[in-house]
């Protein structure tokens, strides 16, 4: 006997979500297999072919020192995405435990941790990152650490709000009555019920991190030559926007594509994970199941 599935996957598998997922797969797949796809060394100089238009040899043309734009786009994308994942990773490692402990124990600990988060949030995100990088030096690692610290309060506050909701539920009281330790209740009983919402937020944060890392590199505070990412490609080619627009438009367009695709895909994931947005079976289908309607 077949099980009747009551979840309507149409809420998730909509055309925009499918298109955004395809865009993400293409971009991420191209970046992962850049070594196989890229026709040239991304840092190889060729002064004889400076600022060439797209051709069969150079699909997107070359930059001011003859480097292949397509190859640099692929390898630069690897740097951009790994940097964004690093930023989000730092916020997860610190922000999630801070939010869980703050929400669970409350009191002075909650007040102290949340006031620290409020202080960090009170500064503009990029400004705080600029100050950090200015203090410790320009490098990709410092840029990732700076933005990771900036992203911690947002995730900590979200996790804390989820903890405040979950810790008052019946299953937590049952865990206390059985004699489970606080550590087990926090990380094995409550945290699994918060993961779906946190994952949705993390998907959004990756898009924001791509934008912020591009801004850092555009201002010269991220990657340093000869390494490149999409933000640095924008900066080094902006002078040729009127004469050779592809050199700057292409990395900018890729940034837009991946950020928009991540936002649309996140909306689809949220619609699927949120029980209130899942469609119930139709009345006709329900009646047929009970044998009320005629075939």
Task: Give the mean pLDDT of 208-231.
Answer: 88
Which three-class secondary structure state does DSSP give residue 68? strand
Percent above pLDDT 70 for the chain: 88
Statement: residue 225 has pLDDT above 60: yes
Which three-class secondary structure state does DSSP give residue 159? helix
Statement: residue 275 has pLDDT above 70: no
pLDDT computed for residue 127 by the predictor:
84
| Domain count of the fold of the chain | 1
Q: Which of 5-14, 16-25, 232-241 has the lowest mean pLDDT?
A: 5-14
| CA–CA separation, 26 and 8 (whole Å) | 27
| CA–CA separation, 139 and 42 (whole Å) | 20
Provide CB contacts within 8 A for 33, sequence distance 6+: none
Statement: residue 138 has pLDDT above 80: yes
How confident is the model over 146-187, as pLDDT tens digits? 999 999 999 999 999 999 999 999 999 999 999 999 999 999
- Establish if 261 belongs to a structural domain: yes
Task: Give the mean pLDDT of 238-264.
Answer: 90
Task: Give the mean pLDDT of 218-231.
Answer: 86
- Establish if 248 belongs to a structural domain: yes
| CA–CA separation, 264 and 196 (whole Å) | 17
- Establish if 295 belongs to a structural domain: no
Instruction: Classify the phi-psi angles of 44: left when phi > 0, otherwise alpha if psi is within -120 to 50, otherwise beta.
Output: beta
| CA–CA separation, 69 and 60 (whole Å) | 6
Report yes or no: 247 and 240 within 8 Å, Cβ to Cβ.
yes
97 token code pair: 């435990």
Statement: residue 267 has pLDDT above 50: yes
Nearest to residue 51, comparing CAs of 225, 234, 240, 226?
240
Helices (H), the chain: 15-32, 34-37, 69-105, 107-122, 125-136, 140-166, 170-178, 182-184, 195-218, 230-237, 246-273, 283-290
Instruction: Calculate the average pLDDT of the chain.
Output: 86
With b for 16 or more beta-carbon neighbours within 10 A and e for fewer, the 69-102 pattern comes to bbbbbbbbbbbbbbbbebbbbbbbebbbebbbbb
pLDDT computed for residue 95 by the predictor:
95
- Establish if 201 belongs to a structural domain: yes
Statement: residue 280 has pLDDT above 50: no
Calculate the CA 261 to chain-centre distance. 11
- Establish if 185 belongs to a structural domain: yes
- Establish if 2 belongs to a structural domain: no
pLDDT computed for residue 133 by the predictor:
84
Statement: residue 140 has pLDDT above 80: yes
Task: Give the mean pLDDT of 229-250.
Answer: 88
Q: 226: domain CATH number?
A: 1.10.3720.10
pLDDT computed for residue 281 by the predictor:
46
How confident is the model over 66-125, as pLDDT tens digits? 899 999 999 999 999 999 999 999 999 999 999 999 999 999 999 999 999 999 888 887
Statement: residue 13 has pLDDT above 80: no
Range of the domain at 165: 9-290
| CA–CA separation, 169 and 256 (whole Å) | 41
Backbone angles phi, psi at 267, to 5 degrees: -60, -40
pLDDT computed for residue 205 by the predictor:
93
- Establish if 4 belongs to a structural domain: no
- Establish if 100 belongs to a structural domain: yes
| CA–CA separation, 179 and 174 (whole Å) | 9
User: DSSP character for 52?
Assistant: P
Which of the two residues, 272 and 244, has the higher pLDDT score?
Answer: 244
pLDDT band at 244 (very low <50, low <70, confident <90, very high): confident
Percent above pLDDT 90 for the chain: 54
| CA–CA separation, 196 and 81 (whole Å) | 22
């Amino acid at each position: 006997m077949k099980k009747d599935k009551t979840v309507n996957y149409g809420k998730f598998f909509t055309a925009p979500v499918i298109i955004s997922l395809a865009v993400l797969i293409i971009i991420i797949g191209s970046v992962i297999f850049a070594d196989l796809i890229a026709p040239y060394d991304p840092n190889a100089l060729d002064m004889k072919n400076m600022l060439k238009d797209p051709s069969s040899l150079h699909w997107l043309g070359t930059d001011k020192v003859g480097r292949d734009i397509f190859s640099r786009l692929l390898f630069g994308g690897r740097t951009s995405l790994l940097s964004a994942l690093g930023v989000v990773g730092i916020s997860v490692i610190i922000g999630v435990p801070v939010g869980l402990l703050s929400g669970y124990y409350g009191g002075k600990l909650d007040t102290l941790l949340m006031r620290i988060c409020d202080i960090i949030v009170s500064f503009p995100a990029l400004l705080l990152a600029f100050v950090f990088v200015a203090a410790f030096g320009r490098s990709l690692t410092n840029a990732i650490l700076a933005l990771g610290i900036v992203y911690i309060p947002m995730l900590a506050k979200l996790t804390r709000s989820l903890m405040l909701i979950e810790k008052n539920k019946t299953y937590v009281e049952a865990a206390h009555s059985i004699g489970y330790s606080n550590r087990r209740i926090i990380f094995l009983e409550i945290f699994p019920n918060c993961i779906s919402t946190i994952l949705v937020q993390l998907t959004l944060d990756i898009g924001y991190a791509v934008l912020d890392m591009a801004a850092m590199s555009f201002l010269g505070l991220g990657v340093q030559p000869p390494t490149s990412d999409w933000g640095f490609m924008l900066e080094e080619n902006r002078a040729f926007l009127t004469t050779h627009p592809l050199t700057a438009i292409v990395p900018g367009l890729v940034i837009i594509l991946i950020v928009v695709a991540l936002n649309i895909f996140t909306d689809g994931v949220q619609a699927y994970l949120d029980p209130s947005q899942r469609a119930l079976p139709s009345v006709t289908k329900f009646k047929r199941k009970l044998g009320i309607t005629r075939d």
